[in-house]
Amino acid sequence: MSDDFDDTPEDPENHENAETADQDENGPDSSKDAQDDNLLHFNPWRDSTGRQPPVDVFGDEPDPEQIVTFMEIVFGFCEGLIPVRSFIDKGQGIDGRPHNIWLAADHDTGSRMTTFASWAAREGAAVYVIPGTVRETGQAKAEDILRMQTIVTDLDTGDIAAKRAHLERHLGPPTMVVESGGVTPQGQNKLHIWWKLNEPAEDTDIKLLCRLRGDIAAKAGGDMHFRSAHQPIRIAGSVYYKNNLKTLVRIVELNAHLEHDLAEFAEAVTGMPPAPGISLTPDFLKHGKPEIDDVLTHPVREAGQDDWSRFEGASAAIGHFIRMVHEGRMSKQDGWDGICGYNAAMLRPQWPVERLKRESERLWNRHVSRNGPPLIRLDTGAPAPDDMPAFTLGALLDDTSPMPEDIIAPRILTPGGLLVLGGAPKVGKSDLLITWLVHMAAGTPFLGFRPPRPLRIFYLQAEIQYHYLRERMQSTGLGPGVLKAARDTLVATPRLDLILDDKGCTRVAAAITRAFPDAPPDILCIDPIRNLFDGGPEGAGENDNSAMMFFLKERVEALRAHINPDCGVVLVHHTKKLSKQQLSEDPFLALSGASALRGFYSTGLILHRPDEEAPERKLQVELRNGPALPPKLIDKVDGKWVELNPMNERLVRRDVGAKHDAERDRKGEVICGLLQEEALQGRMYTMTHFAETFENTGGLGGQSIIRERLNVLTTKGYVKFVRGAGATALNLAAERSKYGYLCVENMRLATGREHVDRSTGEVIPELIDVLPSHYKCPQTGAVLPVENPSLWVYREVEDA
């Protein structure tokens, strides 16, 4: 499936609502006047149309409980504004213009949506929502969506029960199933199937989420318009009006506790086969022009005796061989031989050679004018079947010749090896890589990695523009001797706007040949994979195993074989978010994308921060061609990368580290103290609310820092939670947070009532004890019930 999105809004319910025709691109009309005209300053007690609304005393009414449940499932973890839209469903004999409102995603979203749905029901209007949040009122385009926490598919045709069973069999039970109100011609209720994520998708993850919605729809026969982030959908609990049918959009299955990890769900979608009777072949390939395989293998006679004419067959065959030659997959002579072979074998009678040449030259000139000059053919050097090497055990035991010299010792990069360097954004990955490459190009050791001599390195990078690249090179802080030795042996590109497809590989191969005309490079470095990735004919992304293998074999290996089969390849890749426990158990699971990458490389390196507030980084090493190497603790000191002693005691920047430790302890004490003081004033907080309220208070820093300290405090047991029945017993509003209200030891909450001390006559506020109902498990991070609320348990942590 493609990652490209159609930014044109599609009407819900199979485009039967003509009222949305005034909508431009992804939301309300983009012009100022039209936008003002489409905005509604919502007053539920005012009839904005000025007419008497129709009344149906026997019809369904909005269900507040279902609306609240729906909004919690779809927006419970999100922040921002929710775009909502209502308009008159067809077939009622009444008219009305659409109305758009934007609701804040907070604890009161469900009640406000219930009010709006009730108003829309009195107007005979359906209510839709975009299942994502935006930043500002008036925004509703695909690029405006900031967060999405659910994956949905709309089943509105065919055997819906069978499609639902297929989805549940391969993707697991859904979090929520909604009957949208419509009925198929076969009498089955149309369904919306929802899967909730364990955290909101943001930035590039939204593109992945939308691609998954498109993939699910394609494989299950659902509505393909949900591949776009801005596609609206009916709200459960609202009323469905269409063609004189009035019914409730209702939740028929709810598993509110089911949440899914986006990466794991993506793998499940990738592995899911199409439902029975579903074909992934586009309609335009099923009919019309014949497939090229049919053209090349079926004879065609004169006078239109067959499915296509000799001219159509010859033109298609000539066009096929021209494309092969132009894309570098076939030499000109081989292409001409193929054209002549088709003419002799399939055209009856065959064309004269002169006509064949004339038509070939005409089509070639037209193809070049449209697509540019032809590409150089990359010879992959793949061995023929007869050349496949195989050795007996005796031959391997008797071969005592010296081992090949490492490109980078000890066994970090071997001849023909592939090294993958992964790290999160802003962890210092590019800075470390540049310093490392300069040392290797100069022939000097770096962090214990040793080159045998100055290495010739081609650094193909697609992130840093020229001026900022030269600024980085000039500020490496390396000695003049190292820089002088590497001046001519390290060649780097500025940020490139290309993909490593056939054309891109040819351009890179030509650039490498120009950079090293006398001898091929020892190392080819590609930084990063994501910006240059080509997933092959299917256009799949880096999360697809087949696409990743295509990129590694057909692009990276083909390029290596063309420039130097023995050169080492370094690939730079991003990592995904993992918990500290997962990262410590197997750091290489953090590499983004398909698992095929880990099975292909000969060396893996992961750069990460064990402590987000400490400057030290850890470099994990995984070798295929050598013994295991211990991880390296490294840091940049005085502008230079150095290896630190991995023992617990700090040997470098000890004073600074101690200050950081003290500051972290101080922030923890401030947070606990604020929670105590606020409770005495009758106020309790969720984690998000606390971070927003006390940002830059008491030197706590920004929201993200407060969240990090709260995560540490909850894991160590200094802060626990009150949720569910415990919160209700304290007369607290139903919490929207995943964890509940924050609670510390000996916390007392002011009830707002007062009582008189009988001994002194003093009027004092009434306080009640706050006991935790849940805590965070330090091993798994799960929220578990407290066994004995009266006994406060702290996690035992040894001093590091």
Residue 285: what pLDDT?
36
Mean local confidence (pLDDT), 94-116: 88
Mean local confidence (pLDDT), 579-595: 76
- Note the pLDDT tens digit of each residue in 731-790: 888 766 778 899 999 899 888 888 777 777 787 888 888 999 899 888 888 889 998 888
Q: Which residue has the higher pLDDT, 651 or 643?
A: 643
Q: How many CB atoms lie within 10 A of CB 207?
A: 16
Residue with tokens 């079926």: 298
In sequence order, the β-bridge partners of residue 164 are none
d(CA 188, CA 161): 8
Residue 48: what pLDDT?
37
d(CA 204, CA 607): 21
Mean local confidence (pLDDT), 16-20: 34
Mean local confidence (pLDDT), 174-195: 92
Weakest-pLDDT range from 12-16, 369-373, 396-400, 777-781: 12-16
Residue 49: what pLDDT?
40
Quick one: CA dihedral 88, 94, 97, 102, positive or negative?
negative
Q: How many CB atoms lie within 10 A of CB 17?
A: 18
Angle, nearest 10°, between helix axes 204-220 and 262-271?
Answer: 30
Per-residue pLDDT at 137 exceeds 80 = yes
Residue 586: what pLDDT?
80
User: 313 φ, ψ to 5°?
Assistant: -65, -45
Residue 55: what pLDDT?
39
- Note the pLDDT tens digit of each residue in 252-262: 999 999 999 99
Q: Which residue has the higher pLDDT, 796 or 223?
A: 223
Q: Is 641 exposed, middle or buried (0-12, 13-18, 19+ CB in 10 A)?
A: buried
Task: Please enumerate in sequence order all residues whose Cβ is within 8 A of that of 344, keeping only pairs 6 or more positions apart, or say none.
Answer: 350
What token pair was written down for 492? 């780097």
Per-residue pLDDT at 635 exceeds 50 = yes
Residue 216 binned pLDDT confidence (cut-offs 50, 70, 90):
very high
Q: Is 198 within 8 Å of 265 (Cβ atoms)?
A: no
- Note the pLDDT tens digit of each residue in 37-72: 444 444 433 333 434 344 343 457 899 999 999 999
- Note the pLDDT tens digit of each residue in 296-352: 888 888 765 666 778 888 888 898 998 888 877 777 888 898 899 888 888 888 888
Residue 504 binned pLDDT confidence (cut-offs 50, 70, 90):
confident
Residue 15 binned pLDDT confidence (cut-offs 50, 70, 90):
very low
Rounded to 10 degrees, the C-alpha dihedral 277/283/287/292 comes to -100
Nearest alpha-carbon partner for 525 in 619, 429, 634, 452: 429
Nearest alpha-carbon partner for 262 in 176, 164, 195: 195
Residue 496: what pLDDT?
84
Q: Is 716 within 8 Å of 777 (Cβ atoms)?
A: no
Whether omega for the bond prior to residue 528 falls within 30 degrees of 0, making it cis, is yes
Residue with tokens 């909502």: 84
Residue 167 binned pLDDT confidence (cut-offs 50, 70, 90):
very high
Q: What H or E segment, with its residue span, contains residue 310? A: helix 310-326
Q: How many CB atoms lie within 10 A of CB 144?
A: 21
Weakest-pLDDT range from 113-122, 301-310, 364-373: 301-310
Per-residue pLDDT at 698 exceeds 70 = yes
